[in-house]
Amino acid sequence: MATLSDLSLKDRLWYHRYRFRRVEPLPWQAQGPAVERCKVATVTTAGLHLPDDPPFEKVKGGDYSYRMVPLDAPLTSLVCSHPSGAWDRSGVEADRNLALPLDRLRSLAEAGEIGEVAPRHVSFQGSITAPLRLVKQTAPEVADALIHDGVDVVLLTPV
Amino acid sequence: MGLIAAAMEERGIRTVCLSTFEPIMDQVRPPRWMALPYPLGFPLGPPHRPELQARILREAFRLLEEPGPGPVRREYDPERDG
């Protein structure tokens, strides 16, 4: 488990000053099928995307855009353009399953432990310090796209 | 990530979050999350450990059985099942 002391001094100072936005009361979807019948998608903030997609940008407030990753994309072809130096990307670069565990979800689906793997998965970059357009625009857009795909459960993998 | 989780839950999709960084989770409060004993950038542990990755996912999906309300936290113990 990482702790605050793992962050650089600059990132620690930011953390102590930053006022995190959250939704109150906490939304909680109580109903849903058993996991063996669920269609599962992954949403990561590792900034992974297809090689032909535009990279995430280092902009003030953070890049609130997202990239869709089709299930049939070769995982090893995905590139990481997350601009933050606050995390060690060597693991994700060695094995994309650390952020988008699509190989593992496929195996779990084949074994009947989850219902199905969704046709599309999603990548954001983290470090979005001004999240208004994420909240108003891109997060709802992504949720609607996943609902369109029939997704029941989203696995979130922040880095 | 808490804001993305909220957008999903509000629209009827349940979310399960894997996290290696408890201080941030206490702030962003995803509804269901599992604490993992790995460094930042390694939400499913060291690379190329498919069995470990599958165990983490199985354990994380058990959070879906929690009745709520959230936030609900579970700790992944790598010793428990080898």
User: What residues of chain A lie within 8 A of the CB of B50, using their CB?
Assistant: 97, 103-104, 107
Q: For position A13, what pLDDT does the model report?
A: 78
> For residue A40, what is the enclosing H or E element?
strand A39-44
Q: For position B62, what pLDDT does the model report?
A: 96
Is the Cβ pair B13, A143 closer than 8 Å? yes
**Band of residue A12 on the pLDDT scale cut at 50, 70, 90:** confident
Q: For position A72, what pLDDT does the model report?
A: 96
Average pLDDT over residues B19-47: 90
**Band of residue B81 on the pLDDT scale cut at 50, 70, 90:** low
Please tell me the least confidently modeled range out of A24-33, A48-57, A93-102. A24-33
Q: Where are the domains of chain B?
A: 2-75
Residue B44 near residue B53 (C-beta atoms within 8 A): yes
**Band of residue B27 on the pLDDT scale cut at 50, 70, 90:** confident
Question: Which residues of chain B from 22 to 41 reach within 8 Å of chain A, CB to CB?
Answer: 22-24, 27-31, 35-41
Average pLDDT over residues B71-79: 90
Residue B63 has pLDDT above 70, yes or no: yes
Q: What is the pLDDT of residues A70-92, one digit of tens each?
A: 999 999 999 999 877 778 999 99
| A104-109 long-range Cβ contacts below 8 angstroms, 24+ apart | A104/B44, A104/B50, A104/B53, A104/B54, A104/B57, A105/A40, A105/A42, A105/A155, A105/B57, A107/B50, A107/B54, A108/B54, A108/B57, A108/B58, A109/A40
Residue A20 or residue A118, greater confidence: A118
* ipTM summary value: 0.94
**Band of residue A35 on the pLDDT scale cut at 50, 70, 90:** very high
Task: Tell me the nearest-neighbour CA distance from A77 into chain B, angstroms.
Answer: 16
Please tell me the least confidently modeled range out of A5-9, A60-64, A107-111, A126-130. A126-130
Average pLDDT over residues A32-41: 97
Average pLDDT over residues A113-141: 92
Q: Where are the domains of chain A?
A: 35-157
Average pLDDT over residues B24-35: 87
Residue B32 near residue B59 (C-beta atoms within 8 A): no
Residue A34 has pLDDT above 80, yes or no: yes
**Band of residue A18 on the pLDDT scale cut at 50, 70, 90:** confident
What is the average pLDDT value for chain B, to the nearest integer? 91
* CB proximity B60 to A under 8 Å: yes
Q: For position A22, what pLDDT does the model report?
A: 78
